[in-house]
Structure 1
Amino acid sequence: MAPMVEMVGKVTRSRYDELVAESLDMLEEDTRCQFGLGDAALELEPLRGHGGHLPLDEGDQGVEESLRLFADEIGLSFYTVRTHRWVAAQWPAEHRRAGVSWEVHRILASVPDRFDLIGNPPLSERTGRRRWSAEVAKKLVGWKTEEVLVPVTSQEKIEAIRELARDDEAVAAQVATDFLRRPEVAFKAMRDPEARENVNEAQFEQTKLEDDEFEEDYDNAFDVGDDGERFDDPARIVHSWRKSMEFSDLIAVCQGFIAGAARLVPKLRGHEFTDTQTKVLENHLEKIRATADWIETAAATGQVDLDEQLAQLLRGQ
């Protein structure tokens, strides 16, 4: 009876060993290439910053400019080039370990005693051998394992935040609140039409809620005195002032539009609009008419909610 051939996956054990050996050779070459890329970026812009992960020489805009140009020239993202530069800086050539992947060097790059550590790989629970792997290195430094990468690029960080807050409205709301307290973040967020519309709708609902709560609290506390007459509390007066200021702001918006139109329209004499310009202007005029109707309805009925058709129009859909 012929002995049973040991298989690994769909290949024999001997072929598997050949594939491992060939792959290790390719991995060694890949590691040299990755460090070569980092060394080139490091030569272009030596690392001078201190502290933090992937420092980029704060205050020196020329560094980022050079690295972005370099990244464009070689067809990689700026973030990839920046990461390779930083890893190369953390691992001078004399401390890089042959037979250990660039990924392991990247994971260990922030460890203070990395130069000694990389020469003493821990025992792998999976293979039973002392050999560095990304999973072993991540476990040693406290990162998540099982191929869950620690986000480095902007897109990876965005996806990580989305995933963490995906099914938890309370977390999402707190994160959004914390971020919007940063003026530069709020400014960029409000450039997104849908985000701006949602914030505006939330402001309307919040104002209405605050007004209702104020009236209820006021009536409970100050509405009727012992003699049956209303009591004019200063809080009600201040609240009335706030509403008057909001009305004044609305009037100022209308007056600003009128003044701007009065200044610009006469300058259009003799101007011949292209078909594209005409279409753009028509779209904006339609939005202006719809907004004016919305204001008029709100003033007449007190209903400030956007109906779906108007919301889609203002979104440009």
Structure 2
Amino acid sequence: MSEETEKVGSVSQSRYDEIVAELRQVVEQQTRGSFTIGDRALEVEPMRGWGGQHAAPGQELFTVRETLFRLAEDIGLAYKTVESARWTASRWPREHRQAGVSFRVHRILGQIENEDERFATIAKPPAGGTRWTVDEANRRVGRQVERPASPQEKITAIHSLARDEEVAATVTTDFLKRPTVAAKVPAAEKARVVEEFTRDEAVATTAATNLLRRPDVAFRAMSDDTARFHVNQAQNERSRQAREHFEDTSPVAPAIRHIDRTVEFLDLVTACHSFVAAAGRTVPGLRDRTLSDDERTIVHQNVAKVRATLDWIETAVDTGKVDMDDELARLLKGE
């Protein structure tokens, strides 16, 4: 495409270049005007020390603010405009002000504390550029840019926009609905996020219920000894509470207590029979097979649990005491 037909917005490239040249002159005039305002404000109220340094905008003494307010009103400008111009002028003596660099860039780079570094920086535009831009100046002093380019700048911009808790919650929800975004979050971070989201007991209950309805999740969860122990404990506690409620409220409870004891006896005998039958089917399959050290360790650990459980059963049958001691509880939890 030739220069005559190439467009920038609604104008040709050549016309755009003319507009840029014209506006650079306007910006240069504005820069000189802003420095003039700053210089005159400095003449009226020279910079004063504040904590060992010249006062930054917003840190002026009350009497200085009063004078600057009066000056701003008398020339028809906002106090902040006059205050900023005065501070910027104090950071840039006349011999160090750069032609072709906007007043805003001077103000941003004025935050560089070391004078020698400040004066050397503004005289040398960033690598690859011929002029200072506002974004490059902000990058130089570590401030947020208006047009983020690097991933970190984009992250910073998002954090800045999401400072409000409601905005952050909505953005997080929207992001996590995107499968490609969720897939890039490390597993450990996902687990931590889920834990944070489920601190509320009602939310945790709903989440756990929904997750345990997934067979693969339920299977893996129950492979954890501690999780399985707590689930069994919860089931036993729920059964105990239901039974107590029934015995306290039902008029037929006394009549079926004898039946309950019979059912418990049958359940216990059935459990023992099931274990013996399962062992009878499985153990013969170990003939001529040598288990690894890890496999033998796991089997021995489970045999210890079974042996401790059998002792518990015998104690309960002989004495009627069903409370398990701390050592047995830790063993069944896998501790």
Query: Under TM normalisation by the shorter chain, which class is it?
Result: 0.3 to 0.5
Work out which of the two has the higher radius of gyration on C-alpha atoms and give 1 or 2.
2
